[in-house]
Chains A and B, each alone.
Chain A
Amino acid sequence: MNDNSEQQKVLTVSEITKSIKRTLEGRADFNAIWVKGEIFNLTLHSSGHIYFSLRDDDAVIAAVFFRSANRNLDFKLKEGISVLVLGNITVYEKRGSYQINVSMMKPEGVGDLQKRIELLKLKLVKEGLFDPAKKRPIPFLPRRLGVATSPTGAAVRDIIKVALRRYPNMEIVIAPAIVQGADAPVSIARAIEELNRPEYGVDCIIAGRGGGSFEDLMPFNEEIVVRAFFDSRVPIISAVGHQIDHPLCDDAADLAAPTPSAAAELAVPEKKELKEELEYYRLRINTAMASIMERLDTRIANVTRLRIFRDPYEIVNRAEQLLADMSARILMCLREKVAENRRRLLIIPDIRLLIKNRLDNKLHSFVMALKALEQLSPLGVLQRGYAVPLDETGAVVRSVRDVDVGEFLKVLMQDGSLECSVDRIKPGGYHGKEKRG
């Protein structure tokens, strides 16, 4: 309908756009074409569609890789990598832009920029710039925070906002830096270096910038910047871009934060929490000490509760009482004994009489014993009329057989003796009994 016309025809935006669309999308050599380029401005949309641009040294083309098409993608898309895409050129009327609608994508080796970065990385790794052993701890509570970034960017705002929210009286020194473009690397390095001067009293540095395209973040992959991070004598946190970005300065810094806000959170403690923690320990110490004192108090109370401390006189009084009781009892006992013994003494009327009685008794017994003895004595026997014959040697003659006729015998009588000679011997018992027959 818009055939050539001599008259100057006025087209609406929609009309011309439609025309362009038809022209571009209708060309055979814009359909099912392979295009080679380096990915940048990669956006992985939550819908599953992937938006990015392809570029080479001189040109850029937008690209869209819809979810239905990218489902079979078998490698990880990254900023800076070179890819081959198969697709059609389409026009997006609403934005008046053209793009390549990708139906298939293949990796094409690492992009040039990426290759440069990889080479630099290898070199710096060899030099030891990324050595984890060289990383210093970030101070627990910085005295003054240094920030190397653009004074007008989102990063500085985020850092200030987060730092002051966490620690309202934090001191911050900002070293302004250009964070993208040709001057950025030198500017960033200069800012970091400046913050290292001792006169500022900075003991923790955050250097970085907010999110941007791969190219925007490129300065933080530059050797001079990476070295500035490594050379910083003050502990330094890199804070570049978003979570997915990982520039080389991250590896050279003492700590890599995913974003500037996160860097501020890592660098600045929450003052309220510290105060609470402090208060908590103070409370624990006070409580513990109080309970120690209380235990001590109880011990003292237990001791003082003893009667000796409560009423020392009572004990003395009691002892005194006891003593008095005892002495009274002793006295009483003594008195009793004396009286009893005296009484016992008085009961004996006359000791001499007693002795005489005893002697009389004994004498009587003696006389009786003598009498008994007399009965048994041979003299007694003689008195009763018996005589005892003795031979010449004075031995008692017990048998007639011990005597010969004509032998002299002495016969003891009660009142003297007879000297006799034996005329005749008649054996035999004199009572008619003869023992020895």
Chain B
Amino acid sequence: MEKKKGGKGGPEKPVKIGFEKALKELEEIATRLEEGDISLDESIRQFEKGVQLARFCRERLDEAERKIEILQKGEGGRVKRKKVDVEEDTGEITNEDDLQGSLL
């Protein structure tokens, strides 16, 4: 019953898989399960993989944190990031008073 042991048996984690690929794979899994001509074992494996991929995709969608930064030249010419606020409706940077217009 318990087959968590040994990396092979357990459901593999979609570590380096891209979002698009994960999404595509999800669709394939859905199609495969809907067609239903795979064994019960395989169905369960596919289902587990689907659950994993869906979780991965959801996490990936939400993992970014709304953050708008602008690069500014600091002392000694080092470029630094500066967080700015934007007006969502217009896309306007609201605290742009002392912003440099270029990195030159």
Binding site for B on A (CB under 8 A): 139-141, 143-144, 150-152, 156-162, 164-165, 167-178, 183, 186-187, 190-191, 194-195, 200, 271, 274-275, 277-278, 281-282, 284-285, 288-289, 291-292, 295-296
Partner of B93, one of A151, A167, A173, A186: A151
Whether B103 pairs with A164 at a CB distance below 8 angstroms is no
> Measured between alpha carbons, how far is A334 from B60 in the docked complex, in Å?
87
CB distance from A18 to the nearest CB of B (A): 44
CB distance from A121 to the nearest CB of B (A): 26
Partner of B62, one of A152, A169, A177, A292: A169
Known: A186-B104, A281-B27, A289-B33. 20 other contacts (CB 8 A): A144-B64, A151-B99, A152-B93, A157-B91, A161-B89, A164-B91, A171-B65, A176-B100, A177-B102, A178-B101, A178-B102, A187-B102, A187-B103, A195-B71, A274-B57, A277-B23, A281-B29, A285-B51, A288-B30, A291-B36
> Which residue of chain A lies nearest to B20 when distances are taken between CB atoms in the complex?
A140
10 contacts between A and B (CB under 8 A): A151-B101, A161-B91, A169-B64, A173-B69, A174-B84, A176-B102, A187-B104, A190-B102, A274-B57, A291-B36
Chain B residues whose CB sits within 8 angstroms of the CB of A167 once the complex forms:
64
Whether B29 pairs with A285 at a CB distance below 8 angstroms is yes
The answer to whether A285 and B54 touch (CB under 8 A), given A151-B99, A156-B93, is: yes
CB distance from A158 to the nearest CB of B (A): 6
> Measured between alpha carbons, how far is A138 from B33 in the docked complex, in Å?
31
Whether B40 pairs with A278 at a CB distance below 8 angstroms is no
> Measured between alpha carbons, how far is A47 from B12 in the docked complex, in Å?
64
CB distance from A147 to the nearest CB of B (A): 9
- In the A-B complex, the 6 residue pairs with the smallest Cβ-Cβ separation, listed nearest first, are A161-B91, A288-B33, A160-B91, A140-B20, A284-B30, A157-B91
- Size band of the B side of the interface? 35 or more
Whether A171 pairs with B91 at a CB distance below 8 angstroms is no
Chain A residues whose CB sits within 8 angstroms of the CB of B61 once the complex forms:
141, 271, 274-275, 278
> Measured between alpha carbons, how far is A284 from B33 in the docked complex, in Å?
9
CB distance from B66 to the nearest CB of A (A): 5
CB distance from B11 to the nearest CB of A (A): 14
> Measured between alpha carbons, how far is A278 from B20 in the docked complex, in Å?
11
Whether A169 pairs with B23 at a CB distance below 8 angstroms is no
Chain A residues whose CB sits within 8 angstroms of the CB of B29 once the complex forms:
281, 285
> Which residue of chain A lies nearest to B49 when distances are taken between CB atoms in the complex?
A285
Chain B residues whose CB sits within 8 angstroms of the CB of A170 once the complex forms:
64, 66
Partner of A194, one of B33, B66, B79: B79
B10 at the A/B interface (Cβ < 8 Å)? no
Chain B residues whose CB sits within 8 angstroms of the CB of A296 once the complex forms:
40
